[in-house]
Amino acid sequence: MRLLVLAGTEDGRELANALKQRGHEVLVSTLTPYGAELAQEQGLQTRWGAMDEEKLINLLKSDDFTALVDATHPYALRVKEMAKKVCLDLKIPYQRWERSELELPDHPLIYWAEDISGAAQLSAKLGQRIMLTTGSNGLPEWVSHPLMQDKSLYVRVLPTSEVLMRCEKLGLKPNQIIAAQGPFSQEWDEAMFKQLKIEVVVAKESGKIGGTFEKVEACLNLNLPLVLLKRPAAEIASNQQTITEFIKHLEVIT
């Protein structure tokens, strides 16, 4: 099969590589050139850059793909919905790979929020110095939220010029921006939280891959409250599969 795999994360690259090892032709599509570079290092064929519906349609038509495998980040809702719609219109099979959820115990330091507004309300009650590790896309909502106006916000974001410009346009100062490429170890997280005297950490429940577990452990070890944004309910897989099981299912339906 010739497969288009939307993947910019570690587990997405792992899936693409496993598909290639099974003898399938794979093109990995990533948002950033860095993501494409990481995939290329594993011997995968790649393309990079944001795609709207028209670009995705043209790509799928031009290369006679058998199916599209969506292995994007659990919170990449816009891309998921677009990919599903395009595949439905073109009558090309769409298969979603969802990384496993992180199983966390009930703990008085762990709080759950449905969305950014809910996370902001919780964070405002828990402390003054708030560290956001949720990426740059949601920063406008955080910065403009009324409850954040008298808080000290710190953000950890990707070290790209585009992201840094976005932060600066939102009024964030250099001492509020930690630009670094993850995932990070528990020790790294602890050192950063202590250095900045962080009182509350906000993160996404990004699963077993991506550094969420390390953030949890760092917060619990430092006795820091952690606010976790829940995954969009519709995007949680009802039956978690291994990569091998996923590939076998994909081969059957296509």
**Predicted model pTM:** 0.79
Q: Which residues of 81-113 are buried (b: 16+ CB within 10 A; e: fewer)?
A: ebbeebbeeeebbbbbbbbebbeeeeeeeebeb
DSSP of 129-158: EEEE-S-STTHHHHHH-GGGTTSEEEEEE-
Residue 16 sits in a domain of what CATH number?
Answer: 3.40.50.2000
Percent of the chain with pLDDT over 90: 71
Single-letter amino acid, residue 43:
G
Task: Answer yes or no: do 56 and 10 share one domain.
Answer: yes
Q: Do the beta carbons of residue 65 and residue 2 sit within 8 Å?
A: yes
Would you call 59 exposed, middle or buried from its count of C-beta atoms within 10 A (0-12, 13-18, 19+)?
Answer: middle
Task: Answer yes or no: do 11 and 57 share one domain.
Answer: yes
Task: Answer yes or no: do 123 and 226 share one domain.
Answer: yes
Task: Answer yes or no: do 122 and 220 share one domain.
Answer: yes
Residue 141 belongs to domain spanning: 110-230
CA distance 144 to 132: 14
Task: Answer yes or no: do 94 and 127 share one domain.
Answer: no
For residue 240, the model assigns a pLDDT of 53
Q: How many CB atoms are closer than 10 A to CB 240?
A: 12
Task: Answer yes or no: do 206 and 246 share one domain.
Answer: no
Query: Average pLDDT, stretch 59-78?
Result: 89
Take residue 17 and report the two structure tokens written for it: 């590589």
CA distance 30 to 13: 10
For residue 239, the model assigns a pLDDT of 44
Least confident segment among 31-40, 115-124, 217-226? 31-40
Least confident segment among 66-70, 158-162, 186-190, 234-238? 234-238
**153 belongs to a structural domain:** yes
CA distance 74 to 98: 7
**202 belongs to a structural domain:** yes
Single-letter amino acid, residue 163:
V
Q: How many domains does the chain have?
A: 2
